[in-house]
Structure 1
Amino acid sequence: MKILNTKFENIEMIKKLKKYIKKYYVLIILNMLLSMVSSAISASPLLLVKRLFDQGITQKNEKDILYAAAGMIALALVGALLVYWNGIVSAIISSSIYKNIIDEMYIKVQTLDMEYFSRTKVGELMTKILIDTSNINLIILEFFHLFSEVFKATILLIFAFYKDWKLTLGVLLIAPILMVSVKKYSKKLKIAGKARQEATGTLNSKVQESLSGIRVIRAFATEKSEIKDFKKKSFELKRVVLKSAGYSSKSSAISEAVNFIMVAVLLLFGGYRVIRNSNFTPGDFITIVGSIGSMYTPVKRAISRYNEINSHIASIGRIFGVLDEVPEITDKENCIEFQQFKDKITFENVNFHYKDSDEQILKNINLKALKGETVALVGNSGGGKSTLVNLIPRFFDVTGGLIEIDGINLKDYQIKSLRKKIGIVPQETFLFGGTIFENIRYGNQNATFEEVIEAAKKANAHEFIEKFENGYETEIGERGIKLSGGQKQRISIARAILENPQILILDEATSALDNESEQLVQDALEKLMEGKTTFVIAHRLSTIINSDKIVVVQQGEIKEMGTHKELIEKNGIYKSLYSKSFKN
């Protein structure tokens, strides 16, 4: 029953590839025909063996020896040409399918909900995108090789049966031992292959995490503990790989032993046939020994290919685990394009919790922000401020209540048009590898060089950019590693200015900067905020005091709301926060 289940699982997994394979049906049929002809030609020299021995060597006929040798050379040339084109066509098919899958994986990742990324490790996702898709390429190539080897072995078997079916059948009585061992270890290899992919994903996550946090590791001098943890995970991968290798080696050892036993039986009974049966010539004996003996290599390779496919077939399931993921935050049918923010943003009885948790992150949020207002969100860390502003561009959707812009439900707007009108300057700025010019122009690819410079000047970034040898064409390294925190933040602000959003979200954009950088960034932010509706998770005192509305958020609830003066006079939570944190 377990074997049947495994077979059905494998078939179902391979069926998932049908949509990618059907584009290349013509090439696949051509490739299989090339494999069949190539395999037939590689087995053809056996047809010349009987004539070579019985007429050429035994009767000392040089003409027959020459005929056999010339025939083999001709077959070798044709066979080599077919093998070459068979390999080329196989590579075209497998690489094309690989490209289609990895492209679709990347496209799918771009459409997934933010909540998916909050529960999925980056390293594991990278393993699925890069390594598992590469394994699909390997599976397809191995399948073509498997088909070729099986067909070649089948031709040799048919030829052996044709020459002497009784002797061939007697020898093949040992074959079931081989089939049982192949079934047994192929299932184990599939399980081990899945474990290997998971261990690889865990190790990749560790590497990605360590490289991203290398400064923290150095700062806390925790290199030894990180190395110890990495070695533990790499040892687990080694253990799984060795286990898989053990299964593969056992399977190969059994096939090797069975082959030698088959040849020994063949030599024993075949030799007796030559001595006792005048109709069974040495040429017949050599031919049938050659047929069955030649079957060993393609059978051994076929088993190896089959095991290789089984050890990687779990990658198909892992890939479709991503491709089959259905994003919930999508455009509604007949959605409205968001063109101009005219009036207000309202939160009405908004609740929010993550899918995998019942804990309410936001509870009964009621808030109104008018066009041109600055709304400052203050409160203890972890209170829900960032989650609240992340609902506006629909990074997450409310689980209760609704958010409206200009009286229209946020979910009725086209997502892309909505996000294009919202500018976000986060606390941890993310810059892409490339030049300063490319990063500033990221949100507005049609901007001219002059417009980029103007945006940089407003963001107080132009002066330090010009000091670089290559100016705006300076390569900033991965994640902008060659720039300081203040420089990265100002480039991020220039990027937002160039996009010219109507709604701004500033997530503690100056909290991690020194005083000088903070002053420059704050000045840039004030220019950016002019005439725009702004939600700011506040850190700086002047930003809070000058806000049109201050909202105190704690434990997912709005505890207080009003102007600075009103909340001070209220003598509540805000005044306490102001006295403890902001005043100094």
Structure 2
Amino acid sequence: MGGYSNLLKLNTYVKRCKFNFFAGIVGMIICSIMYTPVPYLMGYVIDKVLIPHKSYMELYKIISVLILLHMLRYGISIVSKSLFIKVQNFVVNEVRVSMMDKIIDLPMSFLGKKEKGYILSRISECGNIGSLFSPMFVNTFLSIFDFIFALIMMITLSYKLSIIALIIVPIYFLTVKHSSNQLSESTKLMLETGAVLNGETYEVLNGIEEIKILNGKKVQLKKFKDKLNKMVKNSIKQSKQILFFMENILLVNNLASVLILLFSGILILDNQVTVGIYTAFIAYMSKIFSTTSSFASLGMTVKPVCVSIERIQEFLEMEDENTEEHEIMNEHIISISGKNLSFKYDENSENVINKLNFKMNKGDKVLIKGENGTGKSTLIKNLLGLYSPTEGEIFINDKRYSLIDKRSVRNKIGVVSQNVFLFRGSVLDNILYGQSDKRKEDVVSLIKKYNLERYIQGFENGLETEINQNGIGISGGQAQIIAFLRATIAKKDVIILDEGVSNMDVETREIIFKILEERNICNILMIISHLEEGIEFVNKTLYLKKETSE
């Protein structure tokens, strides 16, 4: 797992910003070329200007050239690295969008079995990809040009010293690679225990209310500390490996410099090498060692990214709700039926719905009744295509639901549930959620039409009242009013109230029932309710019982 071939899977995203990508590469190569003469000119100053002639004018000229080279290189470097920052952010964000797009389309049979923390961690892995396009990493990869140019200049300056340097390079490479491999292993362990700790932290935050109610602070803290201690242990191990990694590189680098100094000193004493050549040679050798070190430790950066890419690709290739080409439902829904419909959430569990048969036609107002656990809400989830029947079939307008695009069906169904999820934003935003052709005026008109003005005025700032995530600070009844307006403003073919008035006060409930009775707001109305008072207007009742049909 995590082969380097996984890098090619990013090709689709890189193509979309190929100009910035290739322009950035060209810019960095130009920077490498521009650096090439710098050490040579520094050596030239020492040998040809300072020592023999002591010429101020010649010194000023060469220094001016060096300054100009550095300034030009600085400008080109800033531009090219800025391009890669754009590429980095673009690719990571596009992969995140792809992940979110896939998550929304995944079947509930998968999402219902996965913890939110797990899904969140899969999305967060997209951030790992960004390191491939960071200016520092790209510069490391392109430093091969520094290596080539520096080696050419070293051989030009002194082939004898170059031979010594080339003997040292493999030793340096193997030392760095060995140290980086050990560091990579300890980093994996630290990241794994860190992920476990994050999962525990997420559980604490998610269940803090229950922890308080059950006085579970000591138990939870013990679990947290145990996982924290494991992470700290691996973190210390990683820090030690980093220490050895840095010190090993420094030791080999220093010994190599001393060795080069020894041979350079001998050649200087024999008048075969000048002080300027030695100075320039050392500068080029530092480039050689820097590139060697970068490539030796490259796997430490790239390997985890390749693993992340593979895991992301596996996620993106999962089958979504519509696994094949499905027919788009363009016509209005005028009938819904079920034939021998059975459903269970897990292969090893009992059927929640067992061999259910029903038929609903345009104009029907259906009360769905049954004790808790008889599958009323489960039936709704099947009708919405969130889950597929284990056996039997649902028919929409006498067409098999399994052959119809589920999203096109949902576009024609409005739902008001007992526990309404509200999104961060205003009351108006939540009412218009998912509606591209409706505006505030439409909402205001609908509120007046339903005589619900005083309920909207009950919000602090009316329709502009800001709602926190999941409706914190909004009562259950207010949330259901918002959901009712959201379900009816788009003139859906089917309206479903799954205990959709259970949190409303009696007066509000009566208003909603009156609307449902007197107004033709949809083709088919379904109501799940333990309360039967006020819904005498239904013309059909569907009874659900365990292990029985209609």
Provide the TM-score with structure 1 as the length reference. 0.82
Correspondent of 1:552 among 540, 544, 550: 544
2:121 aligns to what? 127
Judged with a 3 Å threshold, the aligned counterparts in structure 2 of structure 1 residues 189 and 294 are, in CA distance, closer, same or farther, namely closer
Give the deviation of 1:106 after TM superposition: 2.4
Give the deviation of 1:237 after TM superposition: 5.0
Which residues in structure 2 correspond to 1:156-195 (within 5 Å)?
156-184=150-178, 186-187=180-181
Q: Which has the higher contact order (CA 8 A, sep 6+)?
A: 2
Which residues in structure 2 correspond to 1:450-465 (within 5 Å)?
450-456=441-447, 462-465=453-456
Contact 1:332 1:411 in 2 (8 A): no
2:96 aligns to what? 102
Separation in 2, partners of 1:356, 1:42: 66
Judged with a 3 Å threshold, the aligned counterparts in structure 2 of structure 1 residues 495 and 225 are, in CA distance, closer, same or farther, namely farther
1:27 aligns to what? 20
Correspondent of 1:48 among 41, 50, 56: 41
Residue 339 (1) aligns with residue 318 (2): no
Residue 475 (1) aligns with residue 470 (2): no
2:310 aligns to what? 317
Contact 1:345 1:370 in 2 (8 A): yes
Judged with a 3 Å threshold, the aligned counterparts in structure 2 of structure 1 residues 315 and 414 are, in CA distance, closer, same or farther, namely closer
1:577 aligns to what? none
2:515 aligns to what? 527
1:509 aligns to what? 500
Separation in 2, partners of 1:79, 1:399: 66
**Secondary structure at the residue paired with 1:540?**
coil
Residue 412 (1) aligns with residue 403 (2): yes
Give the deviation of 1:22 after TM superposition: 2.7
Structure 1 unaligned blocks of 5 or more: 1-5, 562-584
Structure 2 unaligned blocks of 5 or more: none
Judged with a 3 Å threshold, the aligned counterparts in structure 2 of structure 1 residues 294 and 337 are, in CA distance, closer, same or farther, namely closer
2:11 aligns to what? 18
Give the deviation of 1:197 after TM superposition: 5.8
Contact 1:189 1:311 in 2 (8 A): no
Separation in 1, partners of 2:230, 2:490: 48
**Secondary structure at the residue paired with 1:499?**
coil
Contact 1:197 1:315 in 2 (8 A): no
| One-letter amino acid of the counterpart of residue 481, structure 2 | R
- Deviation track 1:207-238 (CA, whole Å, cap 9, x = no partner) reads 55555555444444545544554555555555
Provide the TM-score with structure 2 as the length reference. 0.86
Contact 1:193 1:311 in 2 (8 A): no
Separation in 1, partners of 2:527, 2:240: 59
Give the deviation of 1:16 after TM superposition: 1.0
| One-letter amino acid of the counterpart of residue 558, structure 1 | T
Judged with a 3 Å threshold, the aligned counterparts in structure 2 of structure 1 residues 32 and 461 are, in CA distance, closer, same or farther, namely same
Contact 2:177 2:296 in 1 (8 A): no
Number of aligned residues:
543
Greater CA drift, 285-294 or 301-310? 301-310
Give the deviation of 1:299 after TM superposition: 4.5
Once superposed, what is the RMSD of the aligned Cα atoms?
Answer: 3.3
Correspondent of 1:280 among 269, 273, 277: 273
2:86 aligns to what? 92
Residue 497 (1) aligns with residue 488 (2): yes
Judged with a 3 Å threshold, the aligned counterparts in structure 2 of structure 1 residues 195 and 399 are, in CA distance, closer, same or farther, namely farther
Give the deviation of 1:433 after TM superposition: 1.0
Contact 1:331 1:415 in 2 (8 A): no
| One-letter amino acid of the counterpart of residue 94, structure 2 | N
Which residues in structure 2 correspond to 1:534-573 (within 5 Å)?
534-542=525-533, 548-554=540-546, 557-558=547-548, 561=550
Correspondent of 1:402 among 373, 379, 393: 393
- Deviation track 1:494-545 (CA, whole Å, cap 9, x = no partner) reads 211223333233333355x4xx636634652563476553444432243798
Separation in 1, partners of 2:467, 2:39: 66
**Secondary structure at the residue paired with 1:368?**
strand
**Secondary structure at the residue paired with 2:3?**
helix
Which residues in structure 2 correspond to 1:279-318 (within 5 Å)?
279-300=272-293, 307-318=300-311
| One-letter amino acid of the counterpart of residue 85, structure 2 | A
1:389 aligns to what? 380
Judged with a 3 Å threshold, the aligned counterparts in structure 2 of structure 1 residues 322 and 407 are, in CA distance, closer, same or farther, namely same
Contact 1:341 1:405 in 2 (8 A): yes
| One-letter amino acid of the counterpart of residue 144, structure 1 | V
Give the deviation of 1:110 after TM superposition: 2.5
Correspondent of 1:258 among 241, 249, 252: 252
Judged with a 3 Å threshold, the aligned counterparts in structure 2 of structure 1 residues 290 and 491 are, in CA distance, closer, same or farther, namely closer
1:582 aligns to what? none
| One-letter amino acid of the counterpart of residue 52, structure 1 | V
Judged with a 3 Å threshold, the aligned counterparts in structure 2 of structure 1 residues 452 and 28 are, in CA distance, closer, same or farther, namely closer
Contact 2:340 2:393 in 1 (8 A): yes
Judged with a 3 Å threshold, the aligned counterparts in structure 2 of structure 1 residues 225 and 488 are, in CA distance, closer, same or farther, namely farther
Greater CA drift, 229-238 or 310-319? 229-238
Judged with a 3 Å threshold, the aligned counterparts in structure 2 of structure 1 residues 195 and 282 are, in CA distance, closer, same or farther, namely closer
Separation in 1, partners of 2:99, 2:417: 27
Judged with a 3 Å threshold, the aligned counterparts in structure 2 of structure 1 residues 357 and 296 are, in CA distance, closer, same or farther, namely farther
1:566 aligns to what? none
Give the deviation of 1:249 after TM superposition: 3.8
Give the deviation of 1:440 after TM superposition: 1.5
Contact 1:427 1:507 in 2 (8 A): yes
Contact 2:4 2:303 in 1 (8 A): no
**Secondary structure at the residue paired with 1:350?**
strand
Judged with a 3 Å threshold, the aligned counterparts in structure 2 of structure 1 residues 314 and 336 are, in CA distance, closer, same or farther, namely closer
Greater CA drift, 259-268 or 528-537? 528-537
Correspondent of 2:354 among 363, 370, 378: 363
Separation in 2, partners of 1:369, 1:521: 24
Greater CA drift, 412-421 or 83-92? 412-421
Separation in 2, partners of 1:117, 1:282: 69
Judged with a 3 Å threshold, the aligned counterparts in structure 2 of structure 1 residues 450 and 17 are, in CA distance, closer, same or farther, namely closer
Separation in 1, partners of 2:307, 2:59: 52
**Secondary structure at the residue paired with 2:355?**
strand
Give the deviation of 1:260 after TM superposition: 1.1
Give the deviation of 1:14 after TM superposition: 0.6
Separation in 2, partners of 1:356, 1:171: 66
Contact 2:322 2:405 in 1 (8 A): no
1:580 aligns to what? none
Judged with a 3 Å threshold, the aligned counterparts in structure 2 of structure 1 residues 86 and 42 are, in CA distance, closer, same or farther, namely same
- Deviation track 1:85-124 (CA, whole Å, cap 9, x = no partner) reads 2212221222222232222222222322222311222233
**Secondary structure at the residue paired with 1:398?**
coil
Contact 1:349 1:365 in 2 (8 A): yes
Judged with a 3 Å threshold, the aligned counterparts in structure 2 of structure 1 residues 319 and 340 are, in CA distance, closer, same or farther, namely same
Separation in 2, partners of 1:280, 1:496: 86
